[in-house]
Amino acid sequence: MTWLSWRLFRAQGYVTLVVLACLALLAVATGPHLAQTYADSGIAGCTGGRCSDLSRSFLADAKTGLTGATYTIGALAMVGFPILAGVFWGAPLVARELETGTYRVAWTQSVPRTRWLLPRLGLALGAAAVAAGLASLALTWWANPLDAAQGGRLQPGVYLARGIVPVGYALLAVAVGALLGAVVRRTVPAMATTFAVVGGLMLTFSLWLRPHLVPPVHANVPLDLADLQTFSETNGGHMEVVANFAQKGALVLTNRTLTPQGALFVGPADPTQCDRRLPGQQCMDWVDSLGLRQDVTYQPASRFWDLQLVETGILVALAAVAVGLCVWWVRHRIT
């Protein structure tokens, strides 16, 4: 079965190798220059407020030209690869056999279905994991200066393209694709469902699940008005004041401004201090005098690997379930 699995996968395998090689070439061409620019920028040893200025100018500089293109292509490729692997490797694996009737050739040789399916699925899973792993390794190395300047890798677009989660998503996508292919039995609808399901899982994890995979950290600090996110006052005196969270690279879950008593601060604004006819700074000073607190729950940037490990574990477990279901379905439902 190893031979047949490889023979049927060969063309796709070669295409993937070529694409990987192109990406690697791009990374090698731009990587050393990027690392040098970072070293010269002085971000590594900076202190205080100078840091953000240095980072900003380094990032603005780095995200142009070929380096910028590599960054964008890398991010897209890493997010797109699991979906593509699910759609083009997973979904047709069983569906195409059923659709073209070749399953009647494959399953009437002297090899039971399970021993036909597992090598084929194993090869697709292995190839997807290796490709995703290598690409992620290369990109994680290449983007290291950029990630350092940005202070963290927890933003979804970055997080999904670094570390080991790409491997988890690639495995899950291929397994889900194969399962859907067996259930749907038609290649193109199976591909479309796989696209929707894998894309949906990525979104669900990024938007809702990831921040809660590890219990978030809670912080209650004096409100710092120097770096504001929102400062508004409506006619009724209702106020909304939210400051940015000072910790660099943190993934913020909730960010509220509380009164010293612990209630949510909503005003009312003091009409003698905050008025459109008075200078804005007067209102600001008044708010500053209230002793407001910033109440934040967040995942610190240092949690990157914890989150990656937990998420990848969940993805691999889900992939194993999908593989099990796929085997069961092929054995017991395609009859």
Partner 1 sequence: MTSALTARGLTKRYGRRTALAECTLEIPAGRVVALVGPNGAGKSTLLNLAAGLIRPTSGEIEVLGDTPACSPDQLARVGFVAQDAPTYAGLTVADHLELGRRLNPRWDHRLAERRIDDLALDPRQKAGRLSGGQRAQLALTLALAKRPELLLLDEPAASLDPLARRELLQGLMTHVVDHGASVVLSSHLVSDLERVCDHVVVLTGSHVQLAADLDEVTGTHYRLTGDARDLDELPPGAELVHSTGTDRHRTVVVRSALPVVGDRTQVEPLGMEDVVLAYMARAASPAPRPDSPAEAVR
Binding site for partner 1 (CB under 8 A): 1, 3-4, 7-8, 11, 100-105, 107-112, 115, 335
In this structure, are residues 116 and 147 in contact, taking their beta carbons and an 8 Å threshold? Answer: no
Least distance CB 97 / partner 1 (angstroms): 9
Of 8 and 175, CB closest to partner 1: 8
Least distance CB 101 / partner 1 (angstroms): 4
Of 212 and 331, CB closest to partner 1: 331
Q: Which two tokens stand for residue 322?
A: 């999908």
Of 201 and 330, CB closest to partner 1: 330
- Of 15, 196, 170, 172, nearest in space to 81 by CA: 170
Least distance CB 99 / partner 1 (angstroms): 10
What's the Rg (C-alpha) of the chain? 26
Of 47 and 335, CB closest to partner 1: 335
Of 107 and 231, CB closest to partner 1: 107
Helix, strand and coil in the chain, % to nearest 5: 65, 10, 25
Sequential DSSP letters for 305-320: HHHHHHHHHHHHHHHH
Least distance CB 175 / partner 1 (angstroms): 23
Query: Hey, how many other C-beta atoms are within 10 angstroms of the C-beta on 326?
Result: 25
Least distance CB 193 / partner 1 (angstroms): 21
